[in-house]
Amino acid sequence: MKKPDAGITFCVTHDLERTARFYEDVLRLPLTLDQGKCRIYGVAGGCYLGFCERETDFSTDGIILTLVTDDVDGWYEELLRHGVDIEHEPRLNPDYGIYHLFLRDPNGYLLEIQRFEDPRWAG
């Protein structure tokens, strides 16, 4: 069996246009495919994040969408420039060996911007 070429995490939204503005204009993720009711964004390599507009109820509980970068502080400054509410400012989490911050997207999904401090991270 051949390993997958890419991975997409799909999330539900009630307002695709508002979600698109956030992911395209604030986070500046490249729009890879617009399917009308779903939009798929490139994150890194073969990793993608998709949002599909649905009328059904959904929960954001227990979901963390994490973007890994060496420039957590740069992201923090850019998010502040866009007026994004930050759940907690960048800080070191020694339990996991990461430096990170948290915010919420327009749907209520928890977003984490993080850098691994653990030398075992091979990303």
CATH number at residue 73: 3.10.180.10
**Which pLDDT score, from 0 to 100, does residue 119 have?**
84
For residue 107, the 8-state DSSP code is: T
Q: Is residue 93 part of a domain?
A: yes
Is the pTM of the predicted complex or chain greater than 0.85? Answer: yes
Q: Same structural domain for residues 103 and 122? A: yes
Residue 49: domain span: 7-54
Q: Same structural domain for residues 67 and 49? A: no
Q: Same structural domain for residues 104 and 67? A: yes
Please say if the pLDDT value at position 97 is more than 90.
yes
Alpha-carbon distance 102 to 121, whole Å? 20
Task: Write down the mean pLDDT value for the chain.
Answer: 95
Q: Tokens 């890194």 label which residue?
A: 44
Query: Are the C-beta atoms of 115 and 99 separated by less than 8 Å?
Result: yes
Domain count along the chain: 2
User: In 10 A of CB 25, how many CB atoms?
Assistant: 10
Instruction: Name the nearest CA neighbour of 79 among 102, 61, 60.
Output: 102
Q: Is residue 68 part of a domain?
A: yes
Q: Is residue 31 part of a domain?
A: yes
Q: Same structural domain for residues 30 and 73? A: no
Q: Is residue 109 part of a domain?
A: yes
Q: Tokens 């996991």 label which residue?
A: 96
Taking only the tens place, the pLDDT of each residue in 31-90 is 999 999 999 999 998 899 999 999 999 999 999 999 999 999 999 999 999 999 999 999
Q: Is residue 44 part of a domain?
A: yes
Q: Same structural domain for residues 120 and 70? A: yes
Which residue type is seen at 110? L
